[in-house]
């Protein structure tokens, strides 16, 4: 049973427009969420994170929104750039608990067209 | 920032041989490291949690005798794939947690293993 779900395997966006990547989770014990960007044959690169005590975190073009009641988070990229084309993974952790590992979604492949 | 160095980045080995993958934390001490595996078009799946000075904790379905993990120092964890078979071909990635106010996870660059 997948605890972190990214239901859209791919997303195509025009350069300059907004990219919205979605993620749902089932485990209410998760208290920390992260987004990673991954190019083929490379390790994931950290993008942005959010604690469960917040509902929004912003860093430059990247904003993550958390809706705890819906167990849903989203990553907004605006404006989107061709260099943003990659696979984006949503990940969750219950840092305060006994587990320290990350649970990943399956990823969403973002293509930003010039 | 904190860096995790992983090598080799790519390895091809014959079926039945063993392959060692190293993961080093370059500018911080990593008490805990994680080993992930990613098959094509799949998510990163945790294989095991590596704790310095103690035995690794393996996830369900991961053979501990096949995937040997050693975390003998605070800056080095190794994953050895023993008697590798073609189905072990995958992308292996290590990760370490940064504690304290700089909490976060940092990843190695990954190792592409191909068993022929």
Please report, rounded to a whole number, the percentage of residues in chain A having pLDDT higher than 70.
94
Lowest mean pLDDT of A36-40, A82-86, B98-102, B107-111, name the range. B98-102
Structural contact between residues B82 and B62, judged by C-beta atoms closer than 8 angstroms: no
pLDDT at A114 over 50: yes
Lowest mean pLDDT of A64-68, A93-97, A109-113, B58-62, name the range. A93-97
pLDDT at B102 over 60: no
Q: Average the pLDDT over B73-88 and give the result.
A: 94
Give the pLDDT of residue B53.
83
Tens of pLDDT, residues B41-77: 778 888 999 888 888 999 999 999 999 999 888 899 9
Interface test with B, best of A25, A43, A54, A109 (most B CBs within 10 A): A43
- For residue A17, the surrounding DSSP H or E stretch is none
CA distance readout (Å), A55 to A62, A64, A68, A104: 14, 8, 8, 20
B46–A89: do the CB atoms touch at under 8 Å?
no
B107–A49: do the CB atoms touch at under 8 Å?
no
* Distance in angstroms (rounded) separating the CA atoms of residues B54 and A8: 40
Phi, psi dihedral angles at A21 (to 5 degrees): -110, 135
Cα pseudo-dihedral B99, A64, A108, A91, rounded to 10: 30
Give the pLDDT of residue B114.
95
In the predicted model, what is the mean pLDDT of chain B? 89
Question: Nearest CA to CA, how far is B93 from chain A (Å)?
Answer: 6
Contacts of B77 (CB under 8 A, 6+ apart): B22, B23, B30, B33, B35, B50, B52, B69, B70, B71, B94
Q: Average the pLDDT over B73-100 and give the result.
A: 90
* Distance in angstroms (rounded) separating the CA atoms of residues A67 and B16: 49
Residues facing A30 on adjacent strands: none
A102–B109: do the CB atoms touch at under 8 Å?
no
**A96 or B88, higher pLDDT:** B88
Q: What is the DSSP letter of B64?
A: T
Tens of pLDDT, residues A35-80: 999 988 788 888 998 989 999 999 999 999 999 999 999 999 999 9
CA distance readout (Å), B114 to A113, B40, B49: 33, 13, 23
pLDDT at B20 over 80: yes
Contacts of A75 (CB under 8 A, 6+ apart): A19, A20, A21, A23, A35, A47, A48, A62, A63, A64, A88, A90
- Signed CA dihedral, A41, A46, A47, A49: sign only: positive
Give residue for tokens 């009641």: A69
In the predicted model, what is the mean pLDDT of chain A? 90
Please report, rounded to a whole number, the percentage of residues in chain B having pLDDT higher than 90.
56
A101–chain B Cβ distance below 8 A for any pair: yes
* Distance in angstroms (rounded) separating the CA atoms of residues A71 and A111: 26
């Amino acid at each position: 049973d997948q605890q972190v779900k990214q239901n859209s395997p791919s997303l195509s966006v025009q350069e300059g427009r907004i990219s919205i990547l979605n993620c749902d989770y089932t485990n209410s014990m998760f208290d920390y969420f992260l987004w990673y960007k991954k190019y083929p044959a490379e390790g994931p690169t950290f993008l942005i994170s959010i604690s469960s005590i917040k509902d929004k975190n912003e860093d430059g073009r990247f904003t993550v929104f958390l809706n705890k009641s819906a167990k849903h988070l989203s990553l907004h990229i605006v404006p989107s750039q061709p260099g943003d084309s990659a696979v984006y993974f949503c990940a969750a952790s219950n840092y305060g608990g006994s587990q320290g590992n990350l649970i990943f979604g399956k990823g969403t492949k973002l293509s930003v067209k010039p | 920032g904190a860096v995790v160095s992983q090598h080799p980045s790519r390895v091809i080995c014959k079926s039945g041989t063993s392959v060692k993958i190293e993961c080093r934390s370059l500018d911080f001490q990593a008490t805990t490291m994680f080993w992930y595996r990613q098959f094509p078009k799949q998510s990163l799946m945790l294989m095991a949690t590596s704790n310095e000075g103690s035995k690794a904790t393996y996830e369900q379905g991961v053979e501990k005798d096949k995937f040997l993990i050693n975390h003998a120092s605070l800056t080095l964890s190794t994953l050895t794939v023993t008697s590798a078979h073609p189905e072990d071909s995958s992308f292996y990635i290590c990760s370490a947690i940064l504690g304290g106010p700089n909490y976060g996870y940092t990843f190695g660059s990954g190792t592409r293993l191909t068993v022929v």
